[in-house]
Structure 1
Amino acid sequence: MSIEHLAIWVADLELMRSFYERYFEATAGEKYHNATKNFTSYFLTFKGGPRLELMQKPGLPSIPNGAQEYLGINHFAVSVGSREKVNALTEQFRKDGHSVVGEPRTTGDGYYESVVLDPEGNRIEITI
């Protein structure tokens, strides 16, 4: 068995689509809209991994501050292939004004990673 996709409710669908396309080389499928449910989404495809569904529906509450941990799904990790790429992408996030909430490091369980927030506060581990 494997994870087919993860889904995130978002406030700004187009901003979030372009964010994941730009930084993580995702490819967005066709925009889906269900007028009856006032629901819109994109499926984003990554090389060699599960897809990410970005979903929008007006009136949903926001998540807590992404820099703080809370109950529920905490983060997802994106493998970028090398320490150098982890470092470079982390610096690109910082340069572009995105929050870096975990500096590049080797964790106690052996991962080399950093942690950044997407524009809506979702935690993303960038790892090898």
Structure 2
Amino acid sequence: MRIEHTAIWVTDLERMKDFYETYFNGKANGLYHNEKKDFKSYFMTFDSGARLEIMKKGNVTDQPSQTMTGWAHIAFSVGSREKVDELTDRLKKDGFTVVNGPRITGDGYYESVIEDDEGNLVEITI
């Protein structure tokens, strides 16, 4: 058994598609649009085969919160400490908030955590 994909609600579908394409080498399928339900989505496929569905419904604009229950973050393994440092630096220079790191966590991971355009947490690790 394996996880087939995970999904995230977004407010700006195109901007979030561009984010995952630009920084994490995601490849998007064609836009799915269900006009009756006012629902749109893309499936983003990454080099490892993992998939992320980014979804938008109508005029929903709720923002994520670190005090809610549910999924906490998505993590991308980039292969080395140097790549963690490089991607974190690139994101910071491009105006994204670095929440913490790069650092070695209490459980031994080398990681950084950034916020995407909509405040969702993205962990970058070896």
TM range (shorter): over 0.9
Which residue is 1:104 aligned to? 102
2:86 aligns with 88
CA distance in structure 1 between the partners assigned to 2:63 and 2:96 by the alignment? 17
Q: Could you state the TM-score of these two structures normalised by the residue count of structure 1?
A: 0.93
TM-score by length of 2: 0.94
User: How far does residue 55 in structure 1 lie from its aligned partner after superposition?
Assistant: 0.4
Q: 1:13-62, CA deviations, whole angstroms, 9 ceiling, x for partnerless residues?
A: 00000000000000001110011111000000001142000101123241
Alignment length (residue pairs): 126
Provide closer, same or farther for how the CA distance between residues 108 and 49 of structure 1 changes in structure 2, counting only shifts above 3 A: farther
Question: Does structure 1 retain, via aligned residues, the 8 Å contact 2:11–2:61?
Answer: no
CA RMSD, 1 decimal: 1.2
Letter in 1 for 2:107: D
Code of the aligned partner of 2:82: E
Q: Is the contact between residue 27 and residue 44 of structure 2 (CA under 8 Å) also seen in structure 1?
A: yes
What are the residue-to-residue correspondences of 1:13-28 with 2, within 5 Å? Answer: 13-28=13-28
Q: Percent identity?
A: 58
Query: C-alpha separation between the residues in 1 aligned to 2:72 and 2:63?
Result: 11
Residue ranges of structure 1 left out of the alignment (5+ in a row):
none
Write out the 4+ residue segments of structure 1 that deviate beyond 4 Å after TM superposition: none
Match of 2:121 among 117, 120, 123: 123
Q: Which runs of 5+ in 2 are unaligned?
A: none
Match of 1:5 in 2: 5
Counterpart in 2 of 1:56?
Answer: 56
- Classify 1:92/1:69 alpha carbon distance in 2 versus 1 (closer, same or farther; 3 Å): farther
